[in-house]
Chains A and B, each alone.
Chain A
Amino acid sequence: MARIAVQDAEFDTAAETALLTQGRTDIGAVASFIGICRADDGLGAMVLEHYPGMTERALAKITAEAESRWPLTGCTVIHRVGRLPPGAPIVLVLTASAHRQAALDACAFLMDWLKTKAPFWKREEFTQGQARWVEARSEDDAAAQKW
């Protein structure tokens, strides 16, 4: 059963890793991905909107799919919402398994699917005052389809 959270607050990667591994001796690998707000083109802040209810439901489906494809002992997906400044962590994915390949592959899979199959939207606010909604990228669709 995956741990899923959608929250304003920053996540604690060390504490989340400990949650996955504490009290267990069958885990040989934990893979992690941390998405960070990058300051392109004078970005002042990124505002993340989501669809409460559907988001958690979509993340549960995506993590269940990962657990059915790889022998994971656990996984964690935490996605932040609200206004985030450049440099702020946005998303955390952790996967734990007996061996590294399953953990690494499942982690990459979760990010590729999360980008195209979970209802989040990013709005970029620039330091000059303009704002724009981020457009979906065909590269992300291709990455999701390769699995």
Chain B
Amino acid sequence: MQILYFAWVREKIGRAGEEISLPPGVSDVAGLIRHLGTLSPGHAAAFANPSAIRAAINQDFASPDDAVADGDEVAFFPPVTGG
């Protein structure tokens, strides 16, 4: 699956995205955040406070309990601040 990072999530992780395989036992956004937080110190810093993170699945806003599947494009970012 394609993972994308934006704003300070991208800065803390040090890259704009990565391709990963959905690990066994991970089925929703919250589980994916827990998994990604183990990948590197930068990931751990970015995902230290999951309540500060927003997500999108296939370019639609998603909730922590929304299901994720291999093949999805899942993005993580801070609350939006446009306009």
Contact = CB atoms under 8 A, between A and B. Distances in A.
B59 A120 contact: no
A121 B78 contact: yes
Contact of A121 (B7, B56, B61): B7
Interface residues of A, number: 27
A40 to B, nearest CB: 14
Given A54-B56, A119-B6, A48 B82 contact: yes
A46 to B, nearest CB: 10
Contacts of A48: 82
Nearest to A35: B83
A53 B82 contact: no
A93 to B, nearest CB: 9
Contact of B78 (A79, A111, A118, A136): A136
Interface string A85-115: 0000011000000000000000000010011
B83 A121 contact: no
The dominant DSSP class at the A interface is: mixed
Interface string B24-68: 000000000000000000000000000000001001110000000
B25 to A, nearest CB: 28
A116 B80 contact: yes
Contacts of B78: 121, 133, 135-136
A51 B81 contact: no
Interface of A: 35, 48-51, 53-54, 57, 79, 90-91, 111, 114-123, 133-136, 140
9 contacts: A49-B7, A51-B6, A57-B60, A90-B83, A114-B83, A115-B82, A119-B56, A121-B81, A135-B78
Given A54-B59, A118-B82, 8 more contacts: A51-B56, A114-B82, A115-B80, A117-B80, A119-B6, A134-B81, A135-B81, A140-B83
